[in-house]
Structure 1
């Protein structure tokens, strides 16, 4: 029996125990929609429910102490606790599993001595690779050149089997699924209306908003993304997720007022990606994690299971965050995108989608925004020249793609706060890595 979050919290109050939802990993196939919850008692040190797979129990980091999701967004995690939490986010909410392939795509190694060659010079200082790893608190990093691993590093106890949180890197995955659904004919085009796929938003400020408007975070719907502000819209959406009640997230989005005409104002909003996830959910008739598994994870050959947070038990995936996977599988996703979304010789994305996704776009009044289809165009001189772009998540998560130099870089960091306080600008450092790779 799956119990709701409210029921579990009632159990907690009655028993005076510590509640920890544990997302099950042992799904039998890519289309399973089962979610396991466990009530864990720290006081007695025992699991009080069944259904946890052998795979979950064997996960290297499964017994580590973790913080809460509120501590992540408040920026109230100590360094060690941040690391252990970021690699165990499937213990914060119920998840759906995206199964790894039995025939993973090879990542040949052609290792290069980047420690000796990478150098970033700024007006104030010169940084090498060791500085970047230490100052930006990098827990894992991989560099691909031409699909081959030229550098790979694991710190803070991470290993190639460690799953790490994506934060807003998940947005770029969700937007990619929109492209695939268009190619599949499940979505007509980016000009389709959101409410055609999410009828619960009919009559709200999202009525009259196109999928393209949402992809550009230009719906015109009012939104405050301030992570550390308990009164922000972002935290309202998080509270809806914590409640684990079906439809709660869309209720938050439906209640928002309009701030401008659709397509006229760009405002970064995780809520937009939750709406986009609901669009995919409505278009494909079910789980977007299953759709990701069917279209990319299995056929492209990802080697490990991934997890994705749900808005409620057996519910809809959190489109803008809550995806966790291994470093190498994030790198494979970057390579998939760099190669034009091609699997077995055929692109599963619309023509030009990967080129368009990472470029600046224009609003309805002609204003250019430095944002793509939920990807960030490069902002440094070299990255702009190379038309590089990245999927970026708070606290240091990056999937960087340089189509000109055929390079993919992935970083997993444990920054202390969701405020962009990295001492070294990752995009500038990625320029230095690209320049050093032969």
Structure 2
């Protein structure tokens, strides 16, 4: 009888322990972060009902996205796809440009090169690419460090267009004293290439693109490269960011650098890190203006959100408190813009109606 009772207890224990924890619709507070395989199209999904999200408001969100010229839209929860939709002739394999959302790719690669001891972001840019990369005096040029390029505080004139040839990189203020959105950040790609002895594309592919299973390519636009990929590849990068540089147990980018990249990097525009935008701050600056706006960057979005914002509403929203990554690719929702637009706040109103 004693053995029968023990067997019964063991049976109950095994039965309870073998519950279906691989079911993608099972949500627990201890759920392990999911990472899609690096090869193929396999990617686990999560139902809205399992998250207790409001399914009745999904169609209004999708209608809004289509109306606002969206091409690709993805919501990940804990790494799994909850919504994935394509509009206006776009498909899951169609490439689209990241625009300035791709600045965060550059910031990430700089961090990787730094952790491999190729560069020190506190060093001046001319240590790596030589002097004469601007048309300022050597004294003023040598004030500009790699970190100034990461934080948009080079002091170079942002009113002269996208061209980053030396003649177009002119002095406006001492480095570190003025925040201005400027394409001069692409000089960091030259810094990485010179320091590592590899082409930018090769180093990017080896250290970031391949390790997290991204597809895509750099295409030349004016004097700099813009990244193109499908929407899922943008989501993969967002998932890496959600996990502070870790991809399925491999620390692609060290956590310390990533934390610095996604917190206030200087005291002029407190809503800006290392080429990442930061929500939840008390003020922010926008491209092409020196005006300080009061309040949060995107009032309807969670305070802890950090995001990559690209021209004409390319978006990577990362929300650690909600385990969310949200991707939007497409043409400008309304008028053309450089980063933030009224669309961000309107979109978050529609998203909140679904996830809250």
Q: TM-score with structure 2 length normalisation?
A: 0.74
Aligned pair in 2 of structure 1 residues 434, 340: CA closer, same or farther (>3 Å)? farther
Does the CA contact (< 8 Å) of 1:405 and 1:434 recur in 2?
no
Aligned pair in 2 of structure 1 residues 427, 186: CA closer, same or farther (>3 Å)? farther
What secondary structure does 1:197 align onto? helix
Matched, 1:374 2:305: no
| Counterpart Cα distance in 1 of 2:263 and 2:351 | 21
Does the CA contact (< 8 Å) of 1:277 and 1:318 recur in 2?
no
Picking from 287, 290, 313, the partner of 1:396 is 313
Does the CA contact (< 8 Å) of 2:313 and 2:339 recur in 1?
no
| Counterpart Cα distance in 2 of 1:191 and 1:147 | 34
Does the CA contact (< 8 Å) of 2:300 and 2:348 recur in 1?
no
| Counterpart Cα distance in 2 of 1:368 and 1:233 | 21
Which residue of structure 1 aligns with residue 329 of structure 2? 412
Deviation per CA, 1:165-217: give whole Å up to 9, x if none: 11111211111110111111111x22111111111536743322111111111
| Counterpart Cα distance in 1 of 2:90 and 2:261 | 31
Does the CA contact (< 8 Å) of 1:208 and 1:262 recur in 2?
yes
Does the CA contact (< 8 Å) of 2:157 and 2:171 recur in 1?
yes
Which residue of structure 2 aligns with residue 147 of structure 1? 79
1:102 Cα offset (Å): 7.0
Aligned pair in 2 of structure 1 residues 427, 360: CA closer, same or farther (>3 Å)? farther
Q: TM-score with structure 1 length normalisation?
A: 0.61
| Counterpart Cα distance in 2 of 1:183 and 1:118 | 44
Matched, 1:292 2:221: no
| Counterpart Cα distance in 2 of 1:420 and 1:291 | 27
Picking from 247, 250, 260, the partner of 2:165 is 250
**1:127-276 → structure 2 map (5 Å cutoff):** 128-187=60-119, 189-201=120-132, 204-205=135-136, 206-224=141-159, 232-234=160-162, 237=163, 249-252=164-167, 255-270=168-183, 272-276=184-188
Does the CA contact (< 8 Å) of 2:60 and 2:350 recur in 1?
no
What secondary structure does 1:178 align onto? helix
Deviation per CA, 1:190-245: give whole Å up to 9, x if none: 21111111115367433221111111110111121xxxxxxx422xx1xxxxxxxx
**Matched residue pairs, number?**
295
Alignment RMSD (CA, Å) = 2.9
Q: Unpaired segments of 5 or more residues in structure 1?
A: 1-100, 120-126, 225-231, 238-248
Worse overlay, 146-155 or 104-113: 104-113
| Counterpart Cα distance in 2 of 1:145 and 1:151 | 9
1:431 Cα offset (Å): 6.0
Aligned pair in 2 of structure 1 residues 368, 108: CA closer, same or farther (>3 Å)? same
Deviation per CA, 1:60-103: give whole Å up to 9, x if none: xxxxxxxxxxxxxxxxxxxxxxxxxxxxxxxxxxxxxxxxx972
Which residue of structure 2 aligns with residue 52 of structure 1? none
| Counterpart Cα distance in 2 of 1:286 and 1:308 | 15
1:347 Cα offset (Å): 1.6
What secondary structure does 1:208 align onto? coil
| Counterpart Cα distance in 1 of 2:318 and 2:212 | 18
1:128 Cα offset (Å): 3.4
| Counterpart Cα distance in 1 of 2:45 and 2:355 | 14
Aligned pair in 2 of structure 1 residues 311, 437: CA closer, same or farther (>3 Å)? closer
1:388 Cα offset (Å): 0.3
Does the CA contact (< 8 Å) of 1:218 and 1:266 recur in 2?
yes
Does the CA contact (< 8 Å) of 2:74 and 2:85 recur in 1?
yes
| Counterpart Cα distance in 2 of 1:339 and 1:170 | 18
Indicate the structure (1 or 2) with the bigger Cα radius of gyration: 2
Does the CA contact (< 8 Å) of 1:138 and 1:411 recur in 2?
yes
| Counterpart Cα distance in 2 of 1:339 and 1:150 | 18
Aligned pair in 2 of structure 1 residues 184, 421: CA closer, same or farther (>3 Å)? closer
Does the CA contact (< 8 Å) of 2:156 and 2:172 recur in 1?
yes
| Counterpart Cα distance in 2 of 1:190 and 1:397 | 27
Q: Unpaired segments of 5 or more residues in structure 2?
A: 1-36, 280-296
1:117 Cα offset (Å): 4.4
1:434 Cα offset (Å): 5.3
